[in-house]
Structure 1
Amino acid sequence: MRRALAAAVLLTVLAGCGPTPSTPEAGPTAVPGADKLVACPPTQSRPPVSNGLPDVTLPCLGGGPDMRLADLRGPLVINVWAQWCPPCRDEAPYLAALQKKAAGKLQILGIDYADPRPELAVQFALERELSYPHLVDSDKLVRKPFKVGGPPVTVFVDKDGKVFLHNGVLTSQQQLDQLVKDKLGVSL
């Protein structure tokens, strides 16, 4: 009996040590509803920029490939958020409105930060009509480069890849639009 139990435990442990499947079902897309999110686009490989985005690769919350942040250039707005964050809920309508009125003028990307409930993150993005790609940073890889004490943090990336940080909640649409104009030179 003890041998059978020991063998069963050993098999269970060994099964967990095998290679990670590379199928989409193994990643964040296995989360119910993730297929309804905007897919992450492939990006062109570029050298990192001084004072630019960190050389960090994050998986997509919806479909699409992992994205290396250092490859991205602007004009781009990156919002670091979490579904458990009340200020993130408050500013979400401003980001959704920005996506609608800035289409073709700039890109928006979300980063779901340190979120233990990916199914609630998907629900958050869908309910708030955040119709832009979202990445997952469950290991807090952007904490240091984006100076994240806690979400939300909004990052503005200009056409040359230079980064400007706004820590804390966005309090109005006017404030967000003005930051886009001041940091990225994009008028809405």
Structure 2
Amino acid sequence: METTPLPPEPSSDRSPAQRPSVSRTTIALVAVVSVLLAVGIVLTFRSGSDSASDVIKLDPDATEPFNGLTGGPDVVGQSVHGVTYPTFEGQQAPLHPGDLPVLINFWSSTCAPCITEMPALEAVHQAHAGEITIIGIDHLEVPELGLAMIERTGVTYPVGRDPKGILLRSLGGNALPFSVLVGSDGTILATHAGQLDAAGIEAFIAPALVD
């Protein structure tokens, strides 16, 4: 009859006194590894803190005036002469491009009131061609999202970008949509936070049309 041999007995060559020494060595190694891991975690947190500081440094002008504007909650009376904004084509364009009054409107594709307001702005743009310039500024978005919004709303007035949000802050804005009315001489006449319908836009720009 075939039998299956049993596994060999554990070797007894090692003396009982040697076994505890192996256990102590293992414990010591675990302790060393634990210390190294703890040091690594501390360094990681410190590195994360440095990274957070670097993010702030990426935008050194975040709290500085934009193109000579002093910023702040009340910008009425300041001039936008010489102030520019980046276009979607990567060029710089003036906020006051000629002798006409200007309505500057800040928007974003994630702003539901902006989506409703932009067609109303387009209607006013068509109704007052040659009387006032409307400029739409996409706030804090990659170009692809802004271009998709322009196509979605069908606006034809000039559009540009505020990729770091500096221009909005410098013009006193802290919410979207945000509109700035500039007179024919380049002086800021009024600002408005919140959505406007066509009638509201007409009332808002009226002081500039008789300027």
Where on the TM-score scale, by shorter chain, does this alignment land: which range? 0.5 to 0.7
What is the TM-score of this pair, normalised by structure 2? 0.57
Larger radius of gyration: 2
For 1:34-183, list aligned pairs within 5 A. 51-53=78-80, 55-61=82-88, 63=89, 65-69=91-95, 74-115=100-141, 117-183=142-208
SS of the aligned residue for 1:94 comes to: helix
**170 and 74 in structure 1: CA distance in 2 versus 1, 3 angstrom threshold:** farther
Deviations 1:48-84 (A, max 9, x none): 9x611275432212x4731243666531111111111
Identity value in percent: 25
Q: Distance in 2 between matches of 1:103 and 1:69?
A: 17
Q: Which runs of 5+ in 2 are unaligned?
A: 1-67, 70-76
Deviations 1:118-173 (A, max 9, x none): 21211111221110111111111213321111221111111111113333223321
What is the TM-score of this pair, normalised by structure 1? 0.63
Is the CA contact (8 Å cut-off) linking 1:83 and 1:121 kept in structure 2?
Answer: yes
Q: Which of the pair is proportionally richer in helix? A: 2
Q: After TM superposition, give the deviation of residue 184 of structure 1 in Å.
A: 3.5
Q: Distance in 2 between matches of 1:79 and 1:178?
A: 15
Q: After TM superposition, give the deviation of residue 104 of structure 1 in Å.
A: 1.4
Count residues in correspondence.
137
Amino acid at match of 2:84: T
Q: Which runs of 5+ in 1 are unaligned?
A: 1-46
SS of the aligned residue for 2:166 comes to: coil
Q: Distance in 1 between matches of 2:91 and 2:156?
A: 17
**98 and 145 in structure 1: CA distance in 2 versus 1, 3 angstrom threshold:** same
Is the CA contact (8 Å cut-off) linking 1:91 and 1:169 kept in structure 2?
Answer: no
Q: Distance in 2 between matches of 1:119 and 1:65?
A: 16
Amino acid at match of 2:123: A
**159 and 152 in structure 1: CA distance in 2 versus 1, 3 angstrom threshold:** same
Q: Distance in 2 between matches of 1:183 and 1:77?
A: 9
